[in-house]
Structure 1
Amino acid sequence: MALELLPREKVFRDPVHNYIHVRYRVILDLIDTPEFQRLRRIKQLGVASFVFQGAEHTRFTHSLGVYEITREICDNFAINYPSQTPGDGLWDDSERLVAECAALLHDIGHGPYSHTFEHIFDTDHEAITRRIITDPSTNINRILRNVDETLPEKVASVIDHTYPNPQVVQMISSQIDADRMDYLLRDAYHTGTNYGLFDLTRILRVMRPYKDGIAFDANGMHAVEDYIVSRFQMYQQIYFHPVNRGMEVVLMRLLERAKKLYEAGRFDSAYNPRLLIPFFEHEFDLADYLKLDDGVLNTYFTYWLDYPDGILADFAGRFLNRRPLKSVSFTDDTAKLVPILRELVDQAGFDPDYYTAENDSFDLPYDQYDPSSANPKTQIEIMQDDGTLEELSTLSPLVAAISGKQTGDKRLYFPKVMLSTHEFDLFAGTYRAFQRYVLNDSLIDPGPAESD
Structure 2
Amino acid sequence: MAISGKLSEEKVFKDPVHRYIHVRDKLIWDLIGTKEFQRLRRIRQLGTTYLVFHGAEHSRFNHSLGVYEIVRRIVDDVFKGRPEWNDDDRLLSLCAALLHDLGHGPFSHSFEKVFHMDHEVFTRQILTGDTEVNAVLRQMGDDFPKKVAEVIGKTYENKQVVSLISSQIDADRMDYLQRDAYFTGVSYGHFDMERILRVMRPREDQVVIKQSGMHAVEDYIMSRYQMYWQVYFHPVTRSAEVILTKILHRAKQLHKDYYTFRQDPVHFYSIFEEEVTTEDYLKLDESVVMYYFQQWQEEADPILSDLCRRFMNRNLFQYAEFNPAATVEMKKLMELTALFKKAGIDPDYYLVVDSSSDLPYDFYRPGEEEERLPIHLQLPNGDLRELSRQSEIVDAISGKRRTDHKLYFPLDLIKDMSSKRTAKKRIMELLNV
TM range (shorter): over 0.9
Instruction: From the superposition, tell whether residues 266 and 418 of structure 1 become closer, same or farther in structure 2 (CA, over 3 Å).
Output: closer
- Say whether the 8 Å CA contact 2:78–2:198 is kept in structure 1: no
The answer to whether structure 1 residue 68 and structure 2 residue 69 are counterparts is: yes
Tell me which amino acid in the other structure corresponds to 1:396: S
- Quote the residue 2:431 is aligned against: 438
**Correspondence list, 1:41-440, <5 A:** 41-79=42-80, 82-83=82-83, 90-135=84-129, 137-268=130-261, 270-331=262-323, 332-333=325-326, 334-373=329-368, 377-417=372-412, 420=415, 425-439=418-432
Structure 2 unaligned blocks of 5 or more:
none
- Say whether the 8 Å CA contact 2:322–2:405 is kept in structure 1: yes
How many residues align? The count is: 429
Deviation at 1:261, TM superposition (A): 0.7
Structure 1 unaligned blocks of 5 or more:
84-89, 441-452
- Quote the residue 2:4 is aligned against: 3
How far, CA to CA, are the matches of 2:423 and 2:177 in structure 1? 43
- Deviations along 1:81-107, whole A, 9 cap, x unmatched? 522xxxxxx111110100000000000
- Deviations along 1:141-161, whole A, 9 cap, x unmatched? 000001222210110110111
Deviation at 1:322, TM superposition (A): 0.6
Deviation at 1:373, TM superposition (A): 3.0
How far, CA to CA, are the matches of 1:219 and 1:204 in structure 2? 12
How far, CA to CA, are the matches of 1:413 and 1:303 in structure 2? 25
Q: Could you tell which deviates more after superposition, 329-338 or 311-320?
A: 329-338
- Quote the residue 1:24 is aligned against: 25
- Say whether the 8 Å CA contact 2:352–2:409 is kept in structure 1: yes
SS at 2:297 equivalent: helix
Tell me which amino acid in the other structure corresponds to 1:322: R
How far, CA to CA, are the matches of 2:266 and 2:113 in structure 1? 20
How far, CA to CA, are the matches of 1:74 and 1:367 in structure 2? 26
Tell me which amino acid in the other structure corresponds to 2:374: Q
How far, CA to CA, are the matches of 2:413 and 2:283 in structure 1? 39
Instruction: From the superposition, tell whether residues 63 and 374 of structure 1 become closer, same or farther in structure 2 (CA, over 3 Å).
Output: closer
- Deviations along 1:16-61, whole A, 9 cap, x unmatched? 0000000100101000000000000000000000011000000000
Deviation at 1:349, TM superposition (A): 2.3
Deviation at 1:314, TM superposition (A): 0.5
- Say whether the 8 Å CA contact 1:348–1:427 is kept in structure 2: yes
- Say whether the 8 Å CA contact 2:10–2:22 is kept in structure 1: yes
Deviation at 1:3, TM superposition (A): 1.8
How far, CA to CA, are the matches of 1:360 and 1:223 in structure 2? 31
Deviation at 1:403, TM superposition (A): 0.6
How far, CA to CA, are the matches of 1:418 and 1:406 in structure 2? 35
- Say whether the 8 Å CA contact 1:121–1:280 is kept in structure 2: yes
Tell me which amino acid in the other structure corresponds to 1:348: A
SS at 2:260 equivalent: coil
Tell me which amino acid in the other structure corresponds to 2:125: R
Deviation at 1:212, TM superposition (A): 2.2
Deviation at 1:173, TM superposition (A): 0.2
SS at 1:236 equivalent: helix
Tell me which amino acid in the other structure corresponds to 1:115: H
- Quote the residue 1:87 is aligned against: none
Tell me which amino acid in the other structure corresponds to 1:312: L
Tell me which amino acid in the other structure corresponds to 1:432: K
- Say whether the 8 Å CA contact 1:82–1:93 is kept in structure 2: no
Q: Could you tell which deviates more after superposition, 215-224 or 404-413?
A: 404-413
How far, CA to CA, are the matches of 2:410 and 2:233 in structure 1? 19
% of aligned pairs identical? 49
Tell me which amino acid in the other structure corresponds to 2:166: S
- Deviations along 1:110-140, whole A, 9 cap, x unmatched? 01110101111111101110111011x1000
Q: Could you tell which deviates more after superposition, 429-438 or 356-365?
A: 429-438
- Deviations along 1:334-389, whole A, 9 cap, x unmatched? 33322122222223321011111111110000010101335661100000000001
- Deviations along 1:222-276, whole A, 9 cap, x unmatched? 00000000000000111111111111110111111111111111133x3111111
- Say whether the 8 Å CA contact 2:166–2:371 is kept in structure 1: no
Q: RMSD of the alignment, in Å?
A: 1.5
Instruction: From the superposition, tell whether residues 67 and 246 of structure 1 become closer, same or farther in structure 2 (CA, over 3 Å).
Output: same
Tell me which amino acid in the other structure corresponds to 2:120: E
- Say whether the 8 Å CA contact 1:370–1:376 is kept in structure 2: no
SS at 1:299 equivalent: helix
- Say whether the 8 Å CA contact 1:345–1:418 is kept in structure 2: no
How far, CA to CA, are the matches of 1:78 and 1:190 in structure 2? 30
Instruction: From the superposition, tell whether residues 288 and 170 of structure 1 become closer, same or farther in structure 2 (CA, over 3 Å).
Output: same
Instruction: From the superposition, tell whether residues 101 and 202 of structure 1 become closer, same or farther in structure 2 (CA, over 3 Å).
Output: same
- Say whether the 8 Å CA contact 1:236–1:408 is kept in structure 2: no
How far, CA to CA, are the matches of 1:25 and 1:258 in structure 2? 44
SS at 1:306 equivalent: coil
How far, CA to CA, are the matches of 1:274 and 1:243 in structure 2? 31
Tell me which amino acid in the other structure corresponds to 2:243: V
Deviation at 1:436, TM superposition (A): 2.0
How far, CA to CA, are the matches of 2:414 and 2:258 in structure 1? 36
